[in-house]
Amino acid sequence: MVSISGSKKLKRQMAPTFWGITRKDKRFVVTVKPGPHPKNNSIPTAVLLRDTLKLVTTLREAKSTIYDGKVTIDGIKRKSLHHGIGLMDVIELEGVSDTYRLVPQKGHVLKPLKINDSEKSKKLVKVTSKTTIRNGKTQIGFHDGRSLISDTIVNVGDSCLMQVPEQKILDVIKLEKGSHVIVTRGVNTGQVGSVEDIKEGTFILPKRVLVALGERKIEIPTTLVMAVGKDKPIIQIN
């Protein structure tokens, strides 16, 4: 029979650098299966426990922890070694007092950040699609694969503060002049700045934002930034 959803392993040399794995070890490593986040922008649950957080030392220990239902992502227990954990996901581990959020930091696409317990039910999600469906209702799609039918007024590129796992929108952060954004990819990954101007896209160029990062300014496509607050970040991101 043919394999479903591709291979379950990846050559260690081909793994993204932000996974934090050693290169000169066993030839293969667990990979990400299709799920909420793109393969190149997420970390498999087993790799996160063993190599990124270093809470276990072997894949066998990681399997035991995951299969026993001790790993909770955004309030839902995940029992797959290959589940992709990505941008702004909140990780809780049974028996561990710390709660983590994956955020861009210091050039790393994803890095675990310890957060307060008061924030473990809150998550920032970026609006990636907006569609009108039957009866004139609006369906909103988010960067982590979620979709929600809601009357909330948002535009593609805005961010929503969501309560998980209930999927209740608590607040909307517009991508507009003066709002704070975090760079999610590229050489400026993890830097936070304020939007000074928004430039509409053309046939050749994508929609762009002019962001002030300290004393310098950069022009970057809106797909590489995420709105995180109006005057300051609405949740802990650094």
The structural domains of the chain, with segments of one domain joined by +, span 9-117, 122-173, 180-229
Q: How confident is the model at residue 27 (pLDDT cuts 50, 70, 90)?
A: confident
Task: Give yes or no for residue 2 having a pLDDT over 60.
Answer: no
194 or 1, which is more confident: 194
Q: What is the pTM of this model?
A: 0.91
- State residue 53's pLDDT score: 92
Task: Give yes or no for residue 1 having a pLDDT over 80.
Answer: no
Q: Using one digit for the tens of pLDDT, what is the confidence trace for 9-22?
A: 888 888 888 888 88
- State residue 214's pLDDT score: 86
- State residue 20's pLDDT score: 82
User: Can you point out the beta strands (E) in the chain?
Assistant: 9-11, 28-30, 43-44, 71-73, 76-77, 84-85, 90-93, 99-105, 108-115, 122-132, 138-142, 147-149, 159-163, 168-173, 180-183, 192-199, 208-213, 216-221, 225-229
The average pLDDT across 86-101 equals: 94
Q: How confident is the model at residue 238 (pLDDT cuts 50, 70, 90)?
A: confident
Task: Give yes or no for residue 154 having a pLDDT over 90.
Answer: yes
Fold of 122-173: OB fold (Dihydrolipoamide Acetyltransferase, E2P) (2.40.50)
Cα distance between residue 49 and residue 62, in whole Å: 6
Q: How confident is the model at residue 3 (pLDDT cuts 50, 70, 90)?
A: low
- State residue 5's pLDDT score: 60
The second-level CATH assignment, the architecture, of 9-117 is: Roll (3.10)
Q: Using one digit for the tens of pLDDT, what is the confidence trace for 37-47?
A: 988 899 999 99
- How far, CA to CA in Å, does 116 sit from each of 77, 104, 113, 173? 20, 18, 10, 21
Q: Using one digit for the tens of pLDDT, what is the confidence trace for 64-83?
A: 999 999 999 999 999 999 99
Q: How confident is the model at residue 102 (pLDDT cuts 50, 70, 90)?
A: very high
Q: Is 13 helix (H, G, I), strand (E, B) or coil?
A: helix
Q: Quick check: do 9-117 and 122-173 share a fold?
A: no
- State residue 116's pLDDT score: 93
Q: What is the rounded average pLDDT for all residues in the chain?
A: 92
What single DSSP character describes residue 137?
A: -
